[in-house]
Amino acid sequence: MKKKTFAITALILISCSFGYAQSQQTEQNMKKNSSQEDLIVALEKRVADAGDEYISLTVAEYELLLSQPFGDIEGFEPLTTASGGIKIGYGFSEGPKVYKTDIQIIFPNIPNISEGEVFVILDHVKGNNGLDYLDQESNTEIKADGSSPESAFTELKLDSRTAGSKSYWFGSRYVNLRDPSDSITVRVLGALGGDVELSEVSGKVVMQLPVNITELDLSKADIGTEKSFAGGLITLKEVTNEYISFQFTGDPKMIYSNDPYDNANNVLEITDVRVEDGLHKLYAENPQSLKIYEAEVIRKEYPFSFGTERRDAQEKATPAAPAEVAPEAPSEVAPAAPLVYLNTNDPIATAIRARAISDLRQSVTRTDPESAESKTITAQIEAMPKEKQDQLQEIFLKSINDYLTQTRFDVTVFNYGTFMMLFSDLGKMDLKKIGIEYDIRVQNLGGDQYAAEFWEDSRAHAKALEGNPNPEDIEVFKELIRLSNGQKSVTQEDGATTTSMVSSRYTKMLGLLYSLEKDSSLTFHDPFQPMMDFIRQ
């Protein structure tokens, strides 16, 4: 198999990263969405054509596949979605059980994945009494010696399943819980004991993704012939009815996988593997040839958290916003951790609100494809080698997904295209218009991290449209509302002037990330900074 890579030219990459900044019309947005869909269709065809063979993918291609939504799965109740489109829940282990004991995930079918390469590592499992029930002593969630928590305990049992025409992976693993009040009593996810209810589960899905896969074919004709492979030398030694063997002088960790084949070119089951002094023996029934694979394994983390606390407990934990700021509850689903919005007269909130619009505008200007800086960047990207362009694409997708996750957006609803469109539109909007149609709220994300959130006032926006009955504007507005709330449709009450709103008046459209430094200054985190830094290396 020849090395396959994600063929993205510099111009395509620029359109992915900056294209929405120049889009002002629904038709243009639809064209870009169509291009993205075409890309995914082509990628899925490549995967299907590869069948059970390994296929070389970039991290960006894995994440495109993971981002594809699929419908409800009978018997699985997702409680949240990790960045990358991985649905998380908890349920039963094998057989009928009284309590829900396992953390469970489902994710779209991606190739090159098998057991031992996907893990769920938990940070905490809290009850509504504030205590952490995760058993840190008898499990391997956290190791005292600092070694990797990816182990036989935290790895998932994977099962490939199908729902309708869509195939997906199902994975699960048991979770060790212990009552912190006595450090003895064992608990399970579905029953923390007494009146204590499960309040919050936080952790991460870890995937070990092979990229840059290359292969070497060896048959009986190659016996005794030394060949270069994976940074070393490889020689096929023996082919018998019981095993096939080869000598490798390089680092054995560089060999990703081995597949022995029979005369009909069918992959054989390996019953035993023995390695001694660089001699590898793969035991299988009457092997005739061998494929050896090299790959670079990339470790990817997909954080998640979800809560099942009662609404009254959450409301007590969340300060009520002033009436003039939020006369009605926001329409988005609350994130797992309690929302903590700063009061309007809080000095940090005041400082962030005072600069949020200018920070947004400066970032939009910086990425305007007509600006001198952007044109220089475009030329730099076009001059990059293919490998570096691929790296840049991966950095871009990751940085936007990370930014959305950090500012508490569901990346299965808000993809990078939606983000770019909203980012550009708000950054170019008239200051007076923003003041009328948007409410800027500041949320503490935990520690020294804050988000400046732009909440659209649907009534003010609808009223503004009354004086400008442009069908394109109305359609764009309907689409933004639908995307930002994950709704299937938004009905139109009056074809010329207004639309029916979502269930509440305010809708969160965008979040900007800030951090409070030790000297009490505020730092704005530009979502495009990782990509800019990489280009200027």
Q: Give me the residue spans of the domains in the chain.
A: 212-298, 310-535
Q: In the predicted model, is pLDDT for residue 329 greater than 50?
A: no
Confidence at 467, pLDDT banded by 50, 70, 90 = low
Look at residue 136 and give its three-state secondary structure: coil
Mean pLDDT score, 132-155? 73
Q: Say whether pLDDT at 469 is over 70.
A: no
Quickly state the pLDDT bin for 413 (edges 50, 70, 90).
low
Residue 16 has pLDDT above 90, yes or no: no
The rounded distance, in Å, linking the Cα atoms of 306 and 210 is: 29
Counting beta carbons within 10 angstroms of the beta carbon of residue 295, is it exposed (0 to 12), middle (13 to 18) or buried (19 or more)?
buried
Residue 516, token pair as written in the block: 């409070």
Three-state DSSP class for residue 374: helix
Closest C-alpha to 442, from 304, 325, 311, 323: 325
pLDDT beyond 90 at 97: no
Its sign, for the CA torsion 457, 459, 465, 470, is positive
User: How many whole angstroms separate alpha carbon 312 and alpha carbon 327?
Assistant: 19
User: For all residues of the chain together, what is the average pLDDT?
Assistant: 75
pLDDT, average across residues 62-91: 82
Residue 486 pLDDT exceeds 60: no
Higher pLDDT, 83 or 421: 421
Contacts of 164 (CB under 8 A, 6+ apart): 71
- pLDDT computed for residue 240 by the predictor: 95
Predicted confidence at residue 307, as pLDDT, reads 79
Residue 215 reports pLDDT greater than 70: yes
What's the Cα-to-Cα distance from 497 to each of 417, 432, 470, 472, 479, rounded to whole Å? 27, 21, 8, 11, 16
Q: Best-predicted range by mean pLDDT among 50-54, 163-167, 265-269, 455-459?
A: 265-269
- 247 has pLDDT over 90: yes
Q: What is the structure's pLDDT at 290?
A: 95
Asked if the model's pLDDT at residue 308 lies above 60, the reply is: no
Name the pLDDT band for 412 (thresholds 50, 70, 90).
low
466 falls in which pLDDT band (50, 70, 90)? low
Q: Does domain 212-298 have CATH number 1.10.287?
A: no
pLDDT by residue (tens digit) across 156-213?
Answer: 999 888 887 778 899 999 888 988 888 888 888 888 887 888 888 988 999 999 988 9
Nearest to 294 by CA among 366, 232, 347, 215: 215
Please tell me the pTM assigned to this model.
0.53
Rounded Cα–Cα distance for residues 282 and 285 (Å): 10
Q: Where are the beta strands (DSSP E) in 164-286?
A: 166-174, 177-178, 186-187, 198-219, 226-229, 232-239, 243-248, 255-261, 272-276, 279-283
The CA distance from 213 to 235, in Å, is: 20
- For tokens 């510099």, the residue is 10
